[in-house]
Amino acid sequence: MHALHPMLNTAIKAARRAGAVISRASRDPGAFTVTAKRRNDFVTEVDKAAEEAVIEVLRTAYPDHAILAEESGASGQSEYEWIIDPLDGTTNFIHGFPQYAVSIALRHKGVVTQAVIFDPTRNELFVASRGRGAYLNDQRIRVSKRAHLKESLIGTGFPYREAGGIDEYLRIFKRVTFESAGIRRAGAAALDLAYVACGRLDGFWEKGLAPWDMAAGSLLVLEAGGLISDFDGEAEFLERGEVVCGTPKVFAQLLQVVQQQRRAREPEQSA
Ligand code: IPD
Ligand code: CA
């Protein structure tokens, strides 16, 4: 692997620090308190400690950069903005279900240019720099070669916070169930995107996400040769919180299903 961009190196250091905080805490699951931010949306002291570890490393290296972080919000004004999810998959973490990660992206003038996703349970480090490819533990990764939805394994996330949108989601879910090789809901969107990038999943869709769930993963997917968009096929996924991605051909088929089922009318209620 060629020399890393210095800002990517800093992000890796920050992600590993946060990973160490999370791993240590995972060995003593009774020791941290869990608070509900809203219905089915939890935060632990570990999320906060991991976020502090990330921000300390980034601020020391780049004191003038702006930050957008899940637990502490937005701070600073700069053309460089770090987008941080210190612990993506908090519900999994709380239950000891080993599927969670640290996600850090750098956005420069509105474009994501550096990405790190670190899974401390498997010691898997996914990184990407714009125009320079995506890597998993120093090995170049690419999306899978699958071209047909029929043979594809597709990731998703369930709408779990509120009932709004559940019918539209279930229509899409039903079609993808019939038209793919299978669906997985592993519980950490950043890792779902990283798994598309390295070919473990062939596509992924979810709605109701935050920018920190997607920013780093979106660059991994693109640098691994995949495609990604919002539900309209446009590039506003970070702003709109909805994402479809996959290998170029699977992406197109998945987007078609999403769009068809979005337009599909609810069956008329009989009187
Ligand atoms: C969550 C996970 C989950 C997705 C949620 C996210 P968090 O992130 O990525 O897979 O379905 O929408 O909020 O809250 O654990 O960082
Ligand atoms: Ca989180």
Residues flanking ligand 1, CB < 6 Å: 85, 88-91, 157, 187-189, 206, 208-209, 213
- Separation of 155 CA from ligand 2 center, angstroms? 18
Identify any residues that bridge with 36 across adjacent strands, giving them in sequence order. 42
Examine the domain organization and report whether 211 and 252 are in the same domain: yes
CATH code (residue 126): 3.30.540.10
Domain of residue 171 covers 149-263
What per-residue confidence (pLDDT) applies to 267? 57
Nearest CA, atom 11, ligand 1: 157
- Separation of 255 CA from ligand 2 center, angstroms? 26
CATH code (residue 153): 3.40.190.80
SS (H, E, C) 156-225: ECCCCCCCCCHHHHHHHHHHHHHHCCEEECCCCHHHHHHHHHCCCCCEEEEECCCHHHHHHHHHHHHHCC
Examine the domain organization and report whether 64 and 136 are in the same domain: yes
Provide the CB-side half-sphere exposure for 184 (13 A, CA): 20
253, 180 contact by CB (below 8 A): no
What residues contact 110, with CB distance under 8 A and at least 6 apart? none
202, 154 contact by CB (below 8 A): yes
Q: Of 75, 107, 141, which residue is a domain's last?
A: 141
To 5 degrees, how large is the angle CA 197–CA 191–CA 228?
Answer: 45
Examine the domain organization and report whether 82 and 183 are in the same domain: no
- Separation of 243 CA from ligand 1 center, angstroms? 13
Examine the domain organization and report whether 129 and 223 are in the same domain: no
Asked if residue 120 belongs to a domain, the reply is yes
163, 156 contact by CB (below 8 A): no
Give the number of whichever ligand sits closest to the CA of residue 92: 1
DSSP letter at 130 equals T
- Separation of 223 CA from ligand 2 center, angstroms? 23
Q: What is the mean pLDDT of each run of 10 residues along the chain (271 residues)?
A: 89 98 90 77 87 98 98 96 98 96 98 98 98 98 98 95 82 98 98 99 98 98 98 98 98 98 67 40
What's the CA gap between 94 and 209, in Å, rounded? 19
130, 111 contact by CB (below 8 A): yes
| Nearest atom within ligand 1 for CA of residue 47 | 16
Asked if residue 237 belongs to a domain, the reply is yes
Examine the domain organization and report whether 107 and 130 are in the same domain: yes
70-116 pLDDT, tens digit per residue, is 999 999 999 999 999 999 999 999 999 999 999 999 999 999 999 99
Examine the domain organization and report whether 159 and 137 are in the same domain: no
Nearest CA, atom 2, ligand 1: 188
Examine the domain organization and report whether 89 and 164 are in the same domain: no
Examine the domain organization and report whether 70 and 104 are in the same domain: yes
The one-letter code for the residue type at 129 is: S
Asked if residue 270 belongs to a domain, the reply is no
Examine the domain organization and report whether 29 and 68 are in the same domain: yes
- Separation of 189 CA from ligand 1 center, angstroms? 6
Domain count, the chain: 2
What per-residue confidence (pLDDT) applies to 1? 64
| Nearest atom within ligand 1 for CA of residue 210 | 13
